Chain A
């Protein structure tokens, strides 16, 4: 007993969609198809409607859909560029493109800035960093006194907030990550280089005759 709408939406992307997505990203058509295999498994884990909702996203990250996580919510919001409350396949491919090892460095810097600019004001404010710090402490079950949290914040802002106006702007962030490149490690997924090998089943549904990666 299925609903018509969910059946209609669960189609494979057509050749034109694949060509378009491949042209907009660092992925080949075959790689976009391999990503669809991943998308399909995530988007059908709770409701098989061809879209990833927040619960499905959390389920894929934590193996539990009930676990609320500030950072997973931020990533979800940045993938969901049109703010529809769900991630469609185009959103998924274009967002993962930023995580490709060959993606431009400035795209990774920009995405990480938006990730930490929780309220989207164009600045990473001290209250936002504090909120994230408290979230990571809860997540890791690490207990720190308020005094220690303030010390970490002081040190962080001393290192990043060059003009000492209490907030980190884009230029300060660029400067900071260029001195601390390890902070951008989360912005690169080496798996994306090898996506057709990870999801070889894409060949059974392929729209292209000549599979080239």
Chain B
């Protein structure tokens, strides 16, 4: 399945890009 995905779709799932976590207490 990953082979059918676009690289950017995979990249955007990185924890390092999830700034929302800063607001979760």
Contacts and interface: CB of A to CB of B under 8 A. Distances in A.
A75 B13 contact: no
Nearest to A129: B7
Interface of A: 38, 42, 60-62, 69-75, 96, 99, 115-116, 129, 132-133, 135-137, 139-140, 142, 144, 148, 151-153, 155-156, 159-160, 176, 180, 182-183, 185-186, 189, 191, 195, 198
A13 B18 CA distance: 27
Given A42-B22, A61-B22, A156 B17 contact: no
Interface of B: 2-23, 25
A42 to B, nearest CB: 7
Given A129-B7, A159-B6, A75 B19 contact: yes
B10 A136 contact: yes
Q: Chain B's interface: helix, strand, loop or mixed, by majority?
A: helix
Can you list the 3 inter-chain pairs with the closest CB atoms, starting with the nearest? A71-B16, A72-B16, A191-B23
Contacts of B16: 61-62, 69-75, 139
Contact of B8 (A116, A139, A151): A116
Contact of A144 (B2, B13, B20): B2
A142 B7 CA distance: 14
A194 to B, nearest CB: 9
Given A132-B7, A156-B7, A198 B23 contact: yes
Q: Chain A's interface: helix, strand, loop or mixed, by majority?
A: helix
A185 B9 CA distance: 11
10 contacts: A42-B22, A61-B19, A70-B16, A72-B15, A96-B19, A99-B19, A144-B2, A155-B3, A159-B6, A185-B12
Contacts of B8: 116, 129, 156, 160, 176, 180, 183
A137 B12 CA distance: 12
Given A38-B23, A198-B23, A183 B12 contact: yes
Given A38-B23, A60-B22, A191-B20, A69 B14 contact: yes
Given A132-B7, A132-B11, A189 B23 contact: yes
A135 B3 contact: no
A71 B17 contact: yes
Nearest to B14: A71
